[in-house]
């Protein structure tokens, strides 16, 4: 059976931290699906289509990576596409506290769905989409935290 992992997130926007995680997970799975979770009550800086486009661009030369999005429960999405694993990153203790509960819940509602955690590399543990958004909103240069060749501008500048 194909080993499929779903890497769920907001990717608002994708950072080098996310890319590193996917690259490190690739030897562990046959396929990694980078899936944008759409939460209607959450406010995003970048529209879904834009986030998907960036993800497709970043992983275009990686046949073992697919890009997708889903609404509602992550566990239901995994079941729908036949994925038995979730991929998540841990940067610090607060990531752990949050992720622990979610992974236990997903294991129950996802009927044995397993979350595989990768600890972020030291050079990436300070990087988050939140920080990148703040830099972009403040008119700063976020390129050190973004995948190569990705041009990310504040949405109102187009």
Report the catalytic residues: 18, 42, 91, 129
> How far is 105 from 112, CA to CA, in rounded Å?
10
> How far is 67 from 54, CA to CA, in rounded Å?
10
Q: How far is the CB of 118 from ligand ADP (least distance, A)?
A: 7
Is-contact 104 71, C-beta < 8 A?
no
| 1 or 40: CB nearest ligand ADP | 40
Q: Quick one: which of 59, 39, 45, 52 has its CA closest to 135? A: 45
Site residues, ligand ADP (CB under 6 A): 9-11, 15, 17-18, 21, 88-89, 91, 95, 120, 124, 127-129
| 23 or 60: CB nearest ligand ADP | 23
Q: How far is the CB of 21 from ligand ADP (least distance, A)?
A: 5
Distant-in-sequence, close-in-space partners of 17: CB < 8 Å, separation ≥ 6: 89, 91, 120, 124, 125, 127, 128, 145
Q: How far is the CB of 148 from ligand ADP (least distance, A)?
A: 16
| 1 or 59: CB nearest ligand ADP | 59
């Amino acid at each position: 059976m194909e080993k499929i992992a779903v890497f769920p997130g907001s990717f608002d926007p994708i950072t080098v931290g996310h890319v590193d995680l996917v690259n490190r997970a690739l030897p562990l799975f046959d396929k990694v699906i980078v899936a944008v979770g759409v939460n209607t009550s959450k406010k995003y800086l970048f529209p879904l289509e834009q986030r998907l486009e960036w993800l497709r661009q970043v992983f275009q030369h990686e046949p073992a990576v697919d890009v997708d999005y889903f609404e509602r429960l992550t566990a239901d999405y995994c079941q729908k596409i036949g994925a038995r694993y979730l991929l998540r990153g841990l940067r610090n203790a607060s990531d752990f506290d949050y992720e622990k509960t979610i992974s236990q819940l997903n294991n129950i509602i996802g009927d044995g769905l397993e979350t595989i955690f990768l600890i972020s590399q030291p050079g990436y543990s300070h990087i988050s989409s939140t920080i990148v958004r703040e830099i972009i909103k403040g008119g700063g240069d976020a390129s050190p935290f973004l995948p190569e060749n990705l041009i990310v501008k504040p949405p109102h500048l187009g």
